[in-house]
Amino acid sequence: MAKQVEIKYTQLFIDNEFVDAVSGRKFSTINPANGEVIAEISEGDKADVDKAVDAAKRAFARNSKWRKMDPYDRGQLMHKLADLITRDLDYIATLETRDNGKTYASAVGDIEAGIACLRYYAGWCDKIQGNTIPTGDTYVTLTRREPIGVVGQIIPWNYPFLMLIWKWGPALATGCTLILKPAEQTPLTALYTAALAKEAGFPAGVINVIPGYGPTAGAAIAEHSEIHKVAFTGSTEVGHAIMAAAAKSNLKRVSLELGGKSPLVIFDDVDVKEAAEIAHDAIFVNHGQCCCAGSRTFVHSKIYDEFVKHAKQLALAKKVGDPFDSKIDQGPQIDQEQLNKIMDLINSGKQQGAVVEVGGNRIGETGYFVQPTIFSNVTDDMRIAKEEIFGPVQTILKFDTMDEVIERANRTNYGLASGIITKDINKALEFAQAIESGSVWVNCYDAITSQAPFGGFKQSGIGRELGEEGLNEYLEIKTISIKVTKNN
């Protein structure tokens, strides 16, 4: 089933070299489509994070090559990396599909989006400006926006390559040096991209990649007293742990991009078939493994039955199987743990009285495939309406009025994204103003671009990624006041 692909890098990347872990330990990365071991990867932990931090500190030291580099040249280096990724796009996408199970077409889309994001941030390098501030005639006051320094970045498995670029883009543009820990499920594209960074000419120590597990390598990053910022994407539970570790160690800056239970609200003035298509993609994209998945589909009671009919047809038409087969729409879920979580939540939906319209079962015994599943008659108190499923499961709820749906949509600890489908601009604006979420998509979903900020309200996160806002997470502001001595 798996397309063959040569695995070139399996060791840690520290100071521009691939090296074994200090412990000598390795872990297996597997192909979720068939459970086969793809490669044995060096398993980093605290000792390796310490080495990487030393390298990143040297690279960030005063008068280092990186610090002295003209910001324009820093941008050219980032463009060079984007060129190399473009050269090897097919290889990287193949690696990603093998390691993650997402369809090859969607892996290509992720790499292309990553290239665009890297080039977007490359353009920022020489445009990060401070201010001159009026403070009377005794002082000239100005600000500089300086890199925070050595930063740690911990990313999940659902968009391994794209999340790496979302982290590297602003860190490199601002002139920080970094230690990235990819998810243990998907280390391959991060290691390959590290090799490309070396080929592009990034100085040693600017970029370091330490594959390994969360409680060891990840925790070592979060606790490290010489890492000055940690950027994390993953579960809300681990987000709490990262923040606690930052508080206990050195008060490092924290940015978190966490889970969601995002509402997509569909009013009765719409083309129901089109709305069902938007809602389908909102939840089923990337097999439901998406932080901003439209996982609560609220449908107006007047069109509810018709909507469910269309939603069913779309789910039934979805082809699940080998992610390298171009006719396939959905590959496997990432691993046994996620499969178990999804099946547990599907079973809870059945037990709590939701109606299974389509699917509801695992497919086969090999690989982690789940039937595209739709629940109707879902109520707010059910687990499937409250917990992040992170799988191909659409939950369709019914509503009658704007006030009611806003109140119900906001009744969650999450607040990452939301959407509304209506032809009435006033309804769209009322909803957009009242909803508690970092993104609001009107008559569309997942309209994410490199230029616009993305992140969560409430327990969906802290800080923003992408856009100019994303840079701020990697910058300190320094105020310089110069006394003006009058000559007479």
Residue 291 lies near ligand NAI (rule: CB under 6 A): yes
Instruction: Give the catalytic positions in this structure.
Output: 257
| Number of Cβ atoms within 10 Å of the Cβ of 193 | 29
Which x/- pattern, by CB under 6 A, does the window 166-205 give for ligand NAI?
Answer: ---------------x-xx---------------------
Exactly one of 14, 164, 219, 320 binds ligand NAI (CB under 6 A); that residue is: 219
- Give the total residue count for the chain: 488
Q: How far is the CB of 81 from ligand NAI (least distance, A)?
A: 22
Closer CB to ligand NAI, residue 291 or residue 314?
A: 291
Query: CB of residue 391 vs ligand NAI: minimum separation in angstroms?
Result: 8
Can you spell out the DSSP letters for 421-462? E-S-HHHHHHHHHH--SSEEEESSS----TTS-B--SGGGEE
What residues between 225 and 254 interact with ligand NAI by CB under 6 A?
Answer: 233-235, 238, 241-242
Nearest partner of 29 among 48, 43, 13, 18, judged by Cα: 43
Q: What is the 3-state secondary structure (H, E, C) of 355-375?
A: EEEECCCEECCCCCEECCEEE
458 binds ligand NAI (CB under 6 A): no
Distance of closest approach, residue 221 Cβ to ligand NAI, in angstroms:
7
Residues paired with 3 in a beta bridge: none
CB of 342 to ligand NAI, least distance (A): 8
CB 328 within 8 A of CB 319: yes
Convert residues 320-359 into a mask of x (bound to ligand NAI by CB under 6 A) and - (unbound).
------------------x--x------------------
Rg, Å, the chain Cα set: 24
Contact 126, 75 (CB under 8 A): yes
- Distance, in Å, from the CA atom of 36 to the CA atom of 17, rounded to the nearest integer, reads 28
156 binds ligand NAI (CB under 6 A): yes
Report the residue number, 254 or 278, with the smaller CB distance to ligand NAI.
254
The distance of closest approach from Cβ of residue 256 to ligand NAI in the complex, given in angstroms and rounded to an integer, is 9
**Contacts of residue 250, Cβ cutoff 8 Å, sequence gap at least 6:** 224, 225, 226, 227, 228
Residues within window 87-116 making contact with ligand NAI, judged by CB under 6 A:
none
CB 379 within 8 A of CB 317: no
Kindly list the residues in this chain that would bind ligand NAI in the complex (CB under 6 A).
154-158, 181, 183-184, 213-215, 218-219, 222, 233-235, 238, 241-242, 257-259, 291, 338, 341, 388, 390
